[in-house]
Amino acid sequence: MSKYGYIVDSHCHLNYKGLIEDQPAVIERARGAGVGCMLSINTKLHEYSQIIDIIEAYDDIFGTVGVHPHEAENEPDVAIEALCERSKHPKIVGLGETGLDYYYDSAPRDMQIVNFLAHIEASRQTGLPIIVHTRNADDDCIQLLQSEMKKGPFTGVIHCFTASQRLADAALELGFYISISGIVTFKNAKDLQESAKTIPSDRLLIETDSPFLAPVPHRGKICEPAYVADTATFLAKLRNEDVKQLGETTTQNFFNLFSKITPPSPWESA
């Protein structure tokens, strides 16, 4: 067993260039680092079949269905029914990633919002959590989540969190989880590091967002799920917590949120 016990990469893209070419070895390296479960995220509906191929090939990998805000213009007619139907697969455990990205503005903002709303309604109908991508869109993201929650409950996670403390507080008040990526290890991520200290232990997740955002000491390399161990180590030190305890807590949080997954029994000794 690794010093982390059993940890989870709650957000990776195993079908993306940089990982898919060496996929079996990438997965074995993750397992060797103590990663007992990986969630491979769908960003384009036309790539959904790639996600299915991966999750059906490996017992410890699960997937989501969704359309990234960057793709909202390329895939403008995301039907709630299509999301719900694809989520029936036993190993599809979440919706997204979805959300708002006003930094790149790769798609018109009104189309991003329509896309986001479709995923939220699918979340209500299926009971599956949404995976939220938000960048430079704090005001609209907070307003949308708060107003939609009044219409009916749903749950989810703010993935790869880099936003304001205000958004973190609003998300936590709505019952959301917050996931920290390798960005927290970067020297210039002081604000994020301060925010990461404030996240309650029972709402914290860790991720790689691989093949992007490799943490220190892997900066400049293609990121892969094994590197979530480095983020766990840094985060534990930042929060003055035992790294194995942080691993166990974030793993339990993952299974609490993605409750469609039946955890290994007992996962602590996996």
Q: What percentage of residues in the chain have a pLDDT greater than 70?
A: 96
Could you tell me whether strands 156-158 and 35-40 are parallel, antiparallel, or unpaired per DSSP bridges?
unpaired
Q: Which pLDDT value is given to residue 270?
A: 41
CA-nearest of 241, 234, 131 to 185 is: 234
Residue 203 neighbours by CB distance under 10 Å = 21
Q: Which pLDDT value is given to residue 4?
A: 62
DSSP annotation of 15: T
**What's the pLDDT tens digit per position in 191-250?**
999 999 999 999 999 999 999 999 999 999 999 999 999 999 999 999 999 999 999 999
Superfamily of domain 7-269: Metal-dependent hydrolases (3.20.20.140)
Question: What does the block give as tokens for 60?
Answer: 């410890």
Average pLDDT over residues 253-267: 87
- 3-state DSSP call for residue 96? strand
Residue 78 confidence (pLDDT) above 50: yes
Q: Which pLDDT value is given to residue 108?
A: 96
Q: Which pLDDT value is given to residue 77?
A: 81
Q: Which pLDDT value is given to residue 269?
A: 41
Contacts of residue 11, defined as CB under 8 A and 6 or more positions apart, other chains included, come to 39, 41, 97, 131, 159, 160, 179, 181, 207, 208, 209
CA-nearest of 3, 31, 1, 57 to 224 is: 31
> Of 122 and 268, which is predicted with more confidence?
122
**Cis peptide leading into residue 211 (ω within 30°):** yes
- Distance (Å, whole) CA 208 – CA 29: 14
pTM of the prediction? Answer: 0.96
- Distance (Å, whole) CA 30 – CA 28: 5
- The type of residue at 20 is I
Residue spans of the domains in the chain: they are 7-269
Give residue 67's Cα distance to chain centre. Answer: 14
- Distance (Å, whole) CA 188 – CA 99: 25
Residue 242 neighbours by CB distance under 10 Å = 12
Q: Which pLDDT value is given to residue 264?
A: 79
